[in-house]
Structure 1
Amino acid sequence: MEKKSTERVLGEFATRRTGNSLTLTVPKSAGIPAGKRFVLIIKEDGTLEYRAAKDNPWLDGEYADIDFKAELNDVGNYGQEPPIGKERVN
């Protein structure tokens, strides 16, 4: 069974200078929200490929409402306990 391609052409776009960089516009019809991060890959044949960057919960606000100090007080700070008995190595 042949797999159906989901690729679609949204148009042809030209780069434009923005300061010391070049900007490539993404049309709104692509459905990509503002602020979405991408990784640019240059393939061996010179083709440029943009891939969505993996989400980072530390940067995207997923952990913004967690009180880490309260969590440490509740469960302790693993690995920071003083050594007991034979574990002590000088």
Structure 2
Amino acid sequence: MIIKARKQGNSIVLTIPKSLNVPVNTEFTVDLKNNGDLVYKRTDQKGYDLWSDPAYDNYDYEAEIEREYRELGYNPREVKPMGKELDNGTN
């Protein structure tokens, strides 16, 4: 079965065909693999705990932070506070 990503508002949407019988309001986590594959996993409806998910045992958080800095164009920790940011009650 092939489905196609499509734009809806500011999002890219993948639909789930009705023939797969996925109940409405079923929650999933999604992981983007290095090769571009998306992997959706159904969460435990009793409460998903991201920190105990073994899919993230070897996750490269440092690489994710670097990717976010590249996306932002700067490292927020290296920017000197200005204006109201200076008055945080700790002066």
TM-score of the superposition, structure 1-length normalised?
0.47
User: Larger C-alpha radius of gyration, 1 or 2?
Assistant: 1
TM-score of the superposition, structure 2-length normalised?
0.46
